[in-house]
Amino acid sequence: MKNAFASKMSYFILTFIFLIITASFLFSGFDNFSLGGGKNVATVDGTHVTIKEYQIALNRQVEFFNQMMGGKGMTQKQLEEMGIKQSVMNGLIQQKLIANTADSMGLIVSLDEIKNEIKNLPYFKRGEQFDVGAYRNVLQSNGYSPTQFEELIGNDLKQKKVDELFNTTVVSENFVKDVLNFKNNTVNVHAIKISRQSLAPLVSVSEQEIKDYLAKPENQKSLEAAYTENYAKYNQSEEVKARHILIKAEDPKALDKVKAIRAKVTNKNFGDIAGKESEDSTGKTNGGDLGWFSRGRMVPEFEDVAFKMTPGTISEPIKTQFGYHIIYVEDKKAAQTKPLEVVKAELAQIALQKTKAQDLDKLLESEREKTSALLNANKLAELDALQKKLDAQLFKNTDVNQYDQTVGQMNLSPKEAEELFKAKAGDILNFGNAGTIYLVKVNSKAQGQDKKVEDQLAAEMTAQGQAFSRKAREELIKTLNNKAKIVTNPALM
């Protein structure tokens, strides 16, 4: 996953730098990662990325993910698996590219600007006044000379100036009006997408075919590979299905409020009350439903209580870093382990089903016809059941606008979008192919001219300007990265 936080490092590093340096990094397997000397982990067109810069940025990222994981320490293995080290390095290289660009564009940062920036940092103030002694002491205790720190501040200010150039971009009003007209030209649809492979479990396989498959020694490795691939399915940890109500602790009366809610909540009304009272934004729309989760997914205080509860019970208020929670445990699954010998017949059946190409082709066409009939009759409950049965992508009463041209998370091709916006209400469009069922039913259409474009103009002008700036900045970074001479030292990462 591309780490958004690394790309914003230059904006936030000043806020956290001294908190991080002075913190004791008690991360599992990470205790001895301390600030080092003057070696460089990379050079970008001759500009150095020092080991000190890299370690500060990495420690900050580790602390962030440590908090996200409920305070559990990160191991070196997790650092590698999550790509955090490389993500931090990419962010630092991007900073150097931007700073070098600022120099080449003649974006000069004056000594006065640097001094004013430093004087406004709270770490060096006594009361409201800048304290030279505090400034020197903090820098010295962390191995910085004033010159080194001022260079860091200067580079940060250069990057801000480059960003300011992008942020001053003005887009045409006529262009934005066209965008709004396209956005306001919408089609409401039901859509379903089913992969050919998801139909494989419906293909019939005889017991004799399974016995013959298992009798062949050459199939043993395939069975072992399939078992490894599905290890999580056959070796499940204990899980809990729960809902919760969250009241954030910022309010001095939060505890009284959560106690009052606990007094009136029951199994029957929990979802309704969660929708009205919970301060978890997601919980307001789904009745506080957390679905199934195993240990390690929630913060320790929450999961310790949830896993001790009996299904059908509601907890007393508990406190976590997010606030006060009331937990309703709906169901539990015990941990289970199924060895290969127990499931090899099932794995053989799955393997055989995937080989029956002609049967799959016939089934695909049959299911396409059945699904089209369900869409035509608006049998949404049956479509819901089909979605669960075949792990399909189903979108009901979804608005598709002519600008974004997406159905849920699925992008339409230009040809598909053209066909959709030409269709009439009630039409069912087939966007599938030999390997996919992909049907879209047009429910209704709304034309752009029916919307008040002028009322939306100011906000859309801002949004389009920001989007253009982000895209331009991304393209600049990509171009600079391709042209720059970048040398890294992986041994120091």
Each domain of the chain, given as residue ranges in start order, spans 4-167+487-492, 186-203+356-446, 238-334
The CA distances from residue 128 to 120, 122, 131, in Å, are 9, 8, 9
Q: Which residue has the tokens 């290289």?
A: 93
Is residue 70 predicted with pLDDT exceeding 50?
yes
The pair phi, psi for residue 174, each rounded to 5°, is -65, -40
Question: Could you give the CA distance from residue 56 to residue 29 in angstroms, rounded to a whole number?
Answer: 17
Nearest to 364 by CA among 191, 194, 192: 194
Q: Residue 7, SS3? A: helix
Question: pLDDT digit string (tens) for 224-234?
Answer: 999 998 888 88
Give the number of residues written for the chain: 493
Instruction: Spell out where 146-260 has E strands.
Output: 186-195, 235-236, 239-247
Cα(369)–Cα(362) distance, integer angstroms:
11
Residue among 10, 45, 2 nearest 482 (CA): 45
Give the pLDDT score at 215.
Answer: 93
Percent of the chain with pLDDT over 70: 89
Would you say residue 425 has pLDDT above 70?
yes
How far, in Å, CA of 363 to CA of 248, rounded? 51
**Structure pTM?**
0.46
CB atoms within 10 A of CB 78: 18
CA 6 – CA 95 distance, rounded (Å):
10
pLDDT at 2 over 50: no
Buried b / exposed e over 408-425, threshold 16 CB at 10 Å, is eebebeeebbebbbebee
pLDDT for 444 beyond 60: yes
Quickly state the pLDDT bin for 27 (edges 50, 70, 90): very low
- Residue range 4-167+487-492, CATH number: 1.10.4030.10
Domain 238-334 top-level CATH class: alpha beta
| Residue 236 φ then ψ, to 5° | -95, 135
H or E stretch covering 313: strand 313-314
How far apart CA 92 and CA 47 sit, in angstroms, is 11
